[in-house]
Amino acid sequence: MSKGYNAAIASNPYIVGTFACIGCGLFGLDLSSMSGLLSNDAYKQTFGNPDPNSQGVIVSAMPAGSFAGALLVSYIADTIGRKKIVILSGLVWIIGSTLQCAAVDRGMLITGRVISGISMGIASTVIPLYQSEIAAPSIRGRLISIQQWSITWGILIQYFIQFGCSYMNGVASFRIPWGLQVIPAVVLSIGMMLVFPESPRWLFDHHRETEALAVLADLHGNGDPMHELVQLEFEEIRQQVYYERTEGTKSYFDLLKPDVLHRVSLGAALQMWAQLSGMNIMMYYIIYVFQGAGLTPRRSNLVADSVQYVLNVVFTVPAILYIDKWGRRPMLLTGTLLMASFLFLVGGLQGHFGSWSVVDGCHAWVIQGHDNITKSVIVCSYLFVCSYAITMGPVSWTYPAEIFPMRVRAKAIALSTASNWLFNFSLAWAVPPSLDNITYKTFFVFGTFNLAAFIHVFFMFPETAGRTLEEVEEIFGHRQTFTAWRVDRSVGRKTLEQVVELKEVMARANLRPHSPEGNVSEQDVERGSKTSRKLARW
């Protein structure tokens, strides 16, 4: 423990990566805590019977805060380190959850949700960044996709807590679930503080090479710094960091450089498509969806919802196990087509068999007198969720975490995640009025978004599975901007012998790593430019 972390635990990357995912499980807790309350009478009475627009504001307060939290990470991730930011996210969550639990009016509730959102934006940005920098290439996709699984577990656990509390009378039925959200945040902050290591790539970038090598050895070599994978990653990190130092100081303007801007657009777009897939309709507002399908008794609706959340957890498991074998592209292409199909089916069935009716004193588009159609809509909703869970859900977090060069990785991932929360905020606010006004046509809108995502992925998203973060650089060096399907899965992969040869090329080019002060001279920049041309030929 003199290292500031437990070396025995650090030797198991699954424990390290999975524990950090508690931070993303908090989002699942929040998401489910709101969806389970939409038909809760005590909640409605306490907060003034919110109409669809007001409910949209309450729900969207969390992703609005998350948008700000994600952008905040771009300022602090390279300064104070990945580990400390994860700890910070847990502490902020405790404050937000406490305010929600004690809320007596909408203003206090929205304030608590905004603060919780800031925590979630921080966690959802830094955790995939942290995971990508500690994971071996062969399991990186698996580790990062566990983040999505943790979200599904958060949704499931909180929903059953909500379901159990729904048998209570009064405000305890929603205050208890909100209060219990504090517990995992406490565990996350204390655990990260005492047990888990800092990112080795961050350490190296801050001139702490010895610590970086020790962490790599514990993560990938059972404490042996001479292990082949440890040496391979250490040399690749060294070369990448020294080369990037020749590029000058880190700046937001680096995001506008052609080789980076393209990747920023891919990361942000994928997070956008994940939201526009329609998954949040099925998570935040599933009670409204099943109500429109004709499942109007509250208890029956809650039971049907719980099945969906179980399926979400179960069908994320195959993606975790096989994401590095299947690859990112095939999963995205298959998922977007399946989700579009099921959404079109849901919209078509509701449009053909539904009609305007009155449910709980409000006008709603409902399928009535067609039990088989009601069941068909519910089944299609389940299949949609399964399709998302096994494809888009895990990949949407994995892909943006592995495509950026180190000098801008924190800033670029922050922008990608901010895109997620921006569209999450917009949809959380817009969907209730949409279901209230254009009803079943809402599903056609999101089905069309999935088809657009399919086209975008096919032409512009190259495969990244199986490479180190440094090897991913070579993939985008091929500049197959609109012909991503041509990038073979072998592109970029290197052996230790090749990396050593590359190091010798750099040595012959006489590239000095850095000056004693950690700065780079004009001569170093010139040598770096010559070396970059040699590396390109190599």
462-514 confidence digits (pLDDT tens) = 999 988 888 888 888 777 788 998 888 888 777 767 766 766 665 666 544 44
Helices (H), 246-327: 258-276, 279-284, 286-292, 298-314, 316-326
pLDDT score of 377: 95
What single DSSP character describes residue 247?
T
- Does 150 score more than 90 pLDDT? yes
- Mean pLDDT (whole number) for 191-213: 94
- Mean pLDDT (whole number) for 48-52: 90
- Does 178 score more than 90 pLDDT? yes
Q: Which helix (H) or strand (E) holds 410?
A: helix 409-437
110, 123, 162: which is closest to 27 by C-alpha?
123
Q: Give the percent of the chain with pLDDT over 70.
A: 91
Q: Give the percent of the chain with pLDDT over 90.
A: 62
What single DSSP character describes residue 98?
H
Using CA atoms, how far apart are residues 105 and 54, in angstroms rounded to an integer? Answer: 13
For 318-332, 374-388, 481-495, which range has the lowest pLDDT when averaged over its residues? 481-495
- Does 285 score more than 90 pLDDT? no
- Mean pLDDT (whole number) for 103-129: 96
- Does 162 score more than 70 pLDDT? yes
Using CA atoms, how far apart are residues 461 and 392, in angstroms rounded to an integer? Answer: 13
pLDDT tens for 57-101 read 999 999 999 999 999 998 888 899 999 999 999 999 999 999 999
- Does 442 score more than 90 pLDDT? yes
- Mean pLDDT (whole number) for 239-268: 84
pLDDT score of 281: 78
- Mean pLDDT (whole number) for 307-332: 95
CB 329 within 8 A of CB 418: no
Q: Which residue has the higher pLDDT, 499 or 449?
A: 449
Using CA atoms, how far apart are residues 190 and 367, in angstroms rounded to an integer? Answer: 50
pLDDT score of 533: 39
- Does 250 score more than 80 pLDDT? no
Which residues, including other chains, have CB under 8 Å from residue 205's CB and lie 6 or more apart?
78, 241, 406
Using CA atoms, how far apart are residues 211 and 200, in angstroms rounded to an integer? Answer: 7
Which residues, including other chains, have CB under 8 Å from residue 444's CB and lie 6 or more apart?
343, 344, 347
CB 45 within 8 A of CB 169: no
pLDDT score of 448: 98
Collapse the DSSP code of 225 into the 3-class scheme (helix H, G, I; strand E, B; otherwise coil) and give the result: coil
- Mean pLDDT (whole number) for 127-135: 92
CB 381 within 8 A of CB 346: yes
pLDDT score of 249: 57
Q: Which residue has the higher pLDDT, 11 or 298?
A: 11
Strand partners, 357: 364
For residue 381, CA distances in Å to 156, 282, 363, 446, 531 come to: 17, 7, 22, 13, 54
pLDDT score of 270: 98
Summary mean pLDDT of the chain: 88
Using CA atoms, how far apart are residues 31 and 25, in angstroms rounded to an integer? Answer: 10
